[in-house]
Amino acid sequence: MAHATPSEITPQQVYQQRRDVLRQMAAGAAGVTLSAWTGQEALAQSASVVKRPGKLAALAGARSTVSGAQVADKLTPYEDVSSYNNFYEFGTDKSDPAQAAHTLKPRPWAISIEGEVGKPQKLGLEDLLKLAPMEERIYRLRCVEGWSMVIPWVGYSLSSIIKRAEPNSRAKYVEFVSLADPKQMPGVRSSVLDWPYVEGLRIDEAMHPLTLMAFGLYGEVLPNQNGAPLRLVVPWKYGFKSAKSIVKIRLVEKQPKSSWEKSAASEYGFYSNVNPKVDHPRWSQSSERRIGDGGLFTPRKPTLMFNGYEAQVGQLYAGMDLKKNY
């Protein structure tokens, strides 16, 4: 699979300046509301002119203190991050989500946390935004199809949310369920995947500090096409583990079956750790194309074990056969 990408560059300096301004705003912004979302849906989007959902003071987070959360790689331009997407609820082409996701209504929103927990609960978006300090984390995200991006996400560790529900001793896995509303998401009328989009993690993976619940990127509200209003980012796994527009988190005893596993178990294993030594049946995983780094003729980069996060997460898989548990 090879695609050309729009390469309007957002220079790093422009982003840096904007981030400084956002930080200053945050310093005096207690109680600021989510007005940034107002009118968001009204405007159309296109792949070449990406409408930005806007700033939100709550997201102007400090740099992360989590070990290994910041990579020094060049950032992928905002225009590419928000116009080259996989979000099958809005179509299967990379340009579909940016064009179609304006029908998604990211407010009001709530998630429920249920299953093997002492305190099942429903949490509204406003409460979620205040639940833990926002952090900015620059993560690599590598798609199983062989492309990758480097994105400054804003959010906090998923563990902050899960702990609130007090998982019990039977909670061995976590299942994530995305919204599947045909009124907002035209793609769910097709049978390309079994809806709703479901993904899963082992409980220790879900509780790992690197596992991020993201509410924004580039210091701004998440664009709909990137999974507004909240999505997972699991930086050492292939991108499909990072479920978008989540409405339910279920703590369960048995390993959940993800939508991708159901569609092709031989291609999409439960673990899906980025592993250059284990090829996908259709794509080599030994190298990747960094989106925004020039065109199709730019040399591919070697893919790193666990996407470069081996020092942080390798221990989670000690003693496991990573070819069998792909």
Q: Interface with ligand MTE by CB under 6 A: which residues?
A: 85-89, 141, 143, 178, 197, 226-227, 239-240, 242-245
Please identify, using beta-carbon distances, which residue of 166 and 267 lies nearer to ligand MTE: 267
Beta carbons within 10 angstroms of residue 181's beta carbon: 15
Number of residue whose CB is nearest ligand MTE: 239
- Could you tell me the smallest distance in angstroms from the CB atom of residue 239 to ligand MTE? 3
Q: At which residue do the structure tokens 């082992």 appear?
A: 202
Q: How far is the CB of 92 from ligand MTE (least distance, A)?
A: 9
Asked if 102 and 50 count as a contact pair (C-beta separation under 8 A), the reply is: no
Task: In angstroms, give the least distance from the CB of 308 to ligand MTE.
Answer: 17
Cβ atoms 174, 250 nearer than 8 A: yes
Least Å from the CB of residue 141 to ligand MTE = 6
**Cβ nearer to ligand MTE, comparing 12 with 190:** 190
User: Quick check: 199 and 231 in contact, CB under 8 A?
Assistant: no
Cβ nearer to ligand MTE, comparing 45 with 85: 85
What are the structure tokens assigned to 23, written together? Answer: 């930080």
Angle at 229 between CA 9 and CA 80, to 5 degrees: 15
Cβ-based nearer residue to ligand MTE, 143 or 313: 143
Query: Closest approach of Cβ 140 to ligand MTE, in Å?
Result: 11
- SS3 of residue 72 by DSSP: coil
**Closest distance of CB 180 from ligand MTE, Å:** 8
SS3 149: strand
Q: Which is nearer to ligand MTE, 165 or 177 (CB)?
A: 177
Which is nearer to ligand MTE, 83 or 157 (by Cβ)?
A: 83
Stated as kind and residue range, the H or E segment containing 176 is strand 173-178
Closer of 16 and 92 to ligand MTE (Cβ): 92
By the 8 A CB rule, do 272 and 136 touch? no
Nearer Cβ to ligand MTE (176/317) = 176
DSSP code per residue over 11-79: -HHHHHHHHHHHHHHHHT-TT--SGGGTTTTTS---SSSPPP--B-GGG-PEEP-STT----SPPPPHH
Token couple for 238 = 């292939």
Sign of the C-alpha dihedral computed for residues 98, 181, 212 and 173 taken in this order: negative
Q: What is the separation, in whole angstroms, between the first and last Cα of the chain?
A: 21
Q: Which is nearer to ligand MTE, 149 or 165 (CB)?
A: 149
Reading the block at residue 151, the tokens are 């994105």
CA pair distance 4, 291, nearest whole angstrom: 9
Least distance in angstroms from the C-beta of 168 to ligand MTE: 27
Q: Alpha-carbon torsion 68, 72, 73, 74, what sign?
A: positive
Q: Please tell me the distance from the alpha carbon of residue 64 to that of residue 266, in angstroms, as a whole number.
A: 36
Least Cβ distance, residue 279 to ligand MTE (angstroms) = 17
Minimum distance from residue 32 beta carbon to ligand MTE (Å): 25
